[in-house]
Structure formats: C-alpha cells, structure tokens
Amino acid sequence: MTIDRRQTRGSGRKTEKRDVKPGAEVKETIVEPTAKVEEELAKPLDEFLGRAQKAYITYIEAQKDVWKAYDETQQRVEDDYRQAEQNANSVRDEVIEQALILRSKAELEAEQAYMKDMGQVQQTYANAREEAKTTCEESLRQASATYKQTIEQAQRIREQAIGLARKIFV
C-alpha cells in the first residue's frame, strides 16, 4: 500500500490516498494539521502579506509623489501666470506712459502753432488797424484839404459875386 499525501488548496488539510485494488471502495481520511504544518503554512502567507504591505506602502508613496508633482506643477503654472500678468502690466504701463508723452508733445506743438498763428493774426490785425488809421488820417487830411480848397474857392466866388454885384448895383 502506497500513501500519497497531498495538500489540498485553501483548506490547509492533508488527504491520504492509498493504492487500492480495482473494484474496492476508496475512502478518504481527513487528517487534522499539526502545529508544525500550520507554521509551514503561515510562512508563505506571512511572506505574501509582507509583500502586499510593501506594495501598498510603495503605492501610497507613489501616490504622495504624484500629488507632490501635481502641487509643484500647479505652483509653477501659477507662478508663470503671475509672471505673465506682471509682464502684461509692465507693457501696459509702458504703453500708457508713451501715449501720455506723445499726447503732451502733441498738445505742446498745438499750443505753439496756436501761439504762432495768434501772433500772426495779431500782427495782421495790428497791420490792418495801422493801415486803416493811416488811410483814415489820409482821408481826413485830403477831406480837410478839399474842404479848405472848397471854402477858399467859395470865398473867391463870393467875393467875385459881391464885386460884380457892386459893379452892377453901384
């Protein structure tokens, strides 16, 4: 008789198998595990649990690394955004400053042109006024001269008429 002892999976029990003659009934006898067998079974289980714990710890550490990388990436993105915003603000401020300088220059040039034109207008006005005064004075002088001539001529005519009238009536 041969005994084949095999370990059945999951049960932790051993079964015995005996060579039996054909036609005979086969009986299985269940043998309860001993402390030594339980120890031997516990070793692979402890090993498996140890590996599982190590894998879980590695997973947790990897997850922490992923979150750390995510936080770092998010921080870099925020820093880049702030930098871009500062650059945009600087460019905007520079453009505004240049626009204000250009506006000031344009206002100054306009004021200078206005003053120049006003100077020319005032000069033209002064020239026209002076010319009008001169023309008026000349017209008054001519009118006065004409008046004097006319008065003198009228006096001569009057004296001639009086002289004639005296000759006729006297």
Q: pLDDT by residue for the chain (170 residues), tens digit each?
A: 444 444 444 444 444 455 555 555 555 555 555 666 566 666 777 888 899 999 999 999 999 999 999 999 999 999 999 999 999 999 999 999 999 999 999 999 999 999 989 989 989 999 999 999 999 999 999 999 999 999 999 898 988 888 888 888 76
Pairing outcome for strands 30-31 and 3-7? unpaired
**E strand map for the chain:** 3-7, 14-18, 30-31
Q: Look up the pTM and report it.
A: 0.42
Looking up tokens 């402890």 gives 46
Dihedral angle sign, alpha carbons of residues 44, 49, 55, 61: negative
Task: Give the C-alpha separation, 141 to 160, whole Å.
Answer: 28
